[in-house]
Amino acid sequence: MVQGPEGDLQPFDFAQVLSHVPELAQLQATVETWQPWQPMDSSEVQPYHWERLAAGIYERRDRYSGFVVLHGTDTMAYTASALSFMLQNLGKPIVFTGSQLPIGVLRSDARENLITSLEVVLQEANDAPVLQEVAIYFEYQLLRANRAYKRSSQAFNAFESPNYPALGEAGVSLQLHESSLWRPTGPVCFAPATDTRVGVLRFFPGMDERLARSICLDSGRDVIILQSFGSGNAPNWPWLPTLLDEGQERGVLFINASQCPMGGVRQPAYAASRTLRHAGVLSAGDMTLEAVITKSMWLLGQGKQGVAFREGFATNVAGERSL
């Protein structure tokens, strides 16, 4: 973003970024830019943008040592998570970064985030990139993309990885923690298709059957993510088991995801989780909501339904879950 003539923030051409960061000339690398679409606010980014971005990186995979994606912070975790599923085993670093203040502002965090992201991409050991996965770099922290979410709209340290350690930190020196890094598990897999028939129902005290039914049964969704309390608990609403049974008879898949960013779902932990457990609701484990949504869209896009979806969702595809 840059500041417009009326003081509001407006997208600008990424090709101009090099003129704002002259320090990049000191890098022992050639930096080229590619703009897959006209600049936009990241709140407007849609799954077809994820697919186009993934396709562009895949087509250029042999031409570059790695990729830095400049992206608005609001939906960065969604796009980065989606790419971790679309571009499996690429064996090269893809680092998302952005800023909380526009690049032309005196106190902007954009310059440091961009410079360090490029340095992360250039790290090598034994003639191979140290980072070989999709990550987010922000405010001195390198995080696995599908483990991160935006925690603050104001703080410079806007992103957090509540259930997985940082992949690296930048201080006086740049340190990447090899024990935490994901490594390719097979050949390159480029699978960009998505299907957006995914919905989210957040439980809250006082929620009634009419609202739940409208989202779970009347919205035409193939997957419904139930944002439950604590470690996966649901209220003992008498209509909930009937609704879940009716949904599953229609082929709807339900996923239990905790409203708590840290900890995740442990369905057997409390009696209050029994309704969801006995109904065959899938557990999101310790995945972020962004990862649950994008992985569900990605699995549906690969034609996964029923048992195939259940098996795919339970599989740790790109380091997105530990539970």
- Residue range 164-186, pLDDT digits in tens: 999 999 999 999 999 999 999 99
Does residue 92 lie in a domain region? yes
Residue 246 and residue 121 share a domain: no
Q: What angle do CA 56, 80, 174 make, to 5 degrees?
A: 100
Minimal CA–CA distance to 279: which of 312, 310, 247, 308? 247
- Res 223: pLDDT: 98
Does residue 202 lie in a domain region? yes
Domain enclosing residue 85, as ranges: 2-190
How many domains would you assign to the chain? 2
Last residue of a domain, one of 169, 190, 211: 190
Residues of the chain with pLDDT under 50: none
Residue 218 and residue 181 share a domain: no
Residue 186 and residue 203 share a domain: no
- Res 21: pLDDT: 80
What are the tokens at 277? 């457990």
The chain-wide mean pLDDT, for the chain, equals 92
Residue 151 and residue 18 share a domain: yes
- Res 78: pLDDT: 98
Contact 94, 117 (CB under 8 A): no
What are the tokens at 9? 């923030």
Residue 185 and residue 150 share a domain: yes
Residue 185 and residue 214 share a domain: no
Does residue 320 lie in a domain region? no
Residue 230 and residue 247 share a domain: yes
Cα torsion through 267, 271, 276, 281, rounded to 10: 30
Residue 275 and residue 139 share a domain: no
Contact 129, 123 (CB under 8 A): yes
What are the tokens at 80? 């980065």
Residue 57 and residue 11 share a domain: yes
What are the tokens at 320? 């997105």
Contact 313, 283 (CB under 8 A): no
- Res 1: pLDDT: 64
Residue 160 and residue 253 share a domain: no
Q: Is 215 exposed, middle or buried (0-12, 13-18, 19+ CB in 10 A)?
A: middle
Beta-strand ranges (E) seen in 184-300 are 189-190, 198-202, 223-228, 253-258, 282-283
Residue 137 and residue 94 share a domain: yes
Residue 212 and residue 177 share a domain: no
Distance CA 264, CA 286 (A): 4
